[in-house]
Structure 1
Amino acid sequence: MSPARRSGGRAPEPPATGAAAEDREPPTEEVARAILLRQLAAAPRSRSQLAGKLASRDVPEELAEALLDRFEEVGLVDDAAYAEMLVRTRHEERGLARRALAHELRLKGVSPEVAEQALEQIDDEDEVTTAVALAVRKARTTRGLDPVKRRRRLAGMLARKGYPPGVVMRAVEEALGGEGEDPGGEDLQ
C-alpha cells in the first residue's frame, strides 16, 4: 500500500513524476464542454476569456474553436451582450467612465467594434452626472481637510475612474460649490 493510502490521503492526480505525468492526453470534448459550462456558470465571460481558459487546460485549438462556435450559435457566448452588461453594471455600480470601461473591455478580449457599440449606451451627460454624484459623495468624507487637498483627492479619484479632465473639474466645482466653497479653495461661510 502506498504511503498516501496508509495515511488516509489521496494520491496526487495526475502523478507529479513517472510515465503518467509525461503522457498527458488532451481533454476530450466532454471535458472541454464541462470547463466552458463551469466558467459560464460562475460569471458571464467573453469568447476570448473562454478560449484562454481552454488553452490553459491544453484543449486542442480546433476543438476549442468548434465548441466556442457552437456555444455562440446557441447563445451561451455573446460578446455583444456581455459587453453591454459589463458597461452598464460597471458604470452604475462603480462609476467608471467610458475610457476606463473601454480599457476593461479590451483586457477581456472584446473586439473594438463590439466595445464601441456597448459604450454608446453612456453619453456625455450620463458621464457628467455620474462624476458629480461620485464627487459629492467623496466630498462628504473629506470635510474638514484643507481645500486644496480636498480638490486634489476628488480630482484624483475621478481621474482613476477614467473621467477626462474637463469632466473632473466640472464635477469637483459642482461638488464643492454646493457646500459653499469658492473655486479658489476658501470657505465662503
Structure 2
Amino acid sequence: MTGDLNVRLAKGEDAALADCFREHGSLVRSYLRRFVPPQEIEDLQQIVFAEVWRCCHRFDPGRSLPAWLIGIAHHRAVDHLRVRTLQTVPLDVVADPVGVDGRSHGDGLADRDEVQRALAELPAPQRQAIELAYYGELPQREIAEQLSVPLGTVKARTARGLHRLSDILMTGRPLGRHPRSASSTRARISPSQ
C-alpha cells in the first residue's frame, strides 16, 4: 500500500495527496508540535501538504515517504520560525534556566547537538527508525507500516542504532567531559528532548 502511494504521489495522481494526508498527517503534526505553538500547527500542516503536492514530481518513489515529509515539515517549520517576531527581554533580567535534571538548558542543548551529530554517523535505516521513534513519536508498529518493513526489522534497527549511538557518544567525548554510563546516554535521547 505504501509503495503504491509513493508511486501514485510521484505521478501526481489526484487522490494520492488525500491518501498521503490521511496516512501521514499525524506524523507531520507530531513533528511540527516540537517547533510551533499548538494554534499554528494546523495552518503549517496545510502549508506542508501544499508543498508536497506542488513538489510531488520531485519525489523519488523508491525513497521513504515519511522521511521526505518530515524533511519538508522541518524546512517549513524553520521558515515559519524565522518570520515570527518574538518579544525580547534583557538578559540581565532573566535567571539562568535549570532543566529537570538540575543542569542548565545550555548543557541540554549541547547534549542534543552531540546526539544529532552522532545520529548523522548511523547507517540510514537505523537513523530513520530512531528519528521516527524519538522525533516523530511513533510506536514501532507504526514505523514498520510507514517503512513497509516487518516489525522485527524495526526493532532490530532501533536496537542496533541505539547501541551504536551509545558507542559513538561514549567514544566521541571532548576532553574534560566525563563519560556517562550507556543507560544515561540512552536517557539523553528520550523523546521529550
Q: For the superposition of Structure 1 and Structure 2, which TM-score range results when normalised by the shorter chain?
A: under 0.3
Larger Rg: 1
- The normalised TM-score by structure 1 is 0.25
- The normalised TM-score by structure 2 is 0.25
Q: Which has the higher helix share?
A: 2
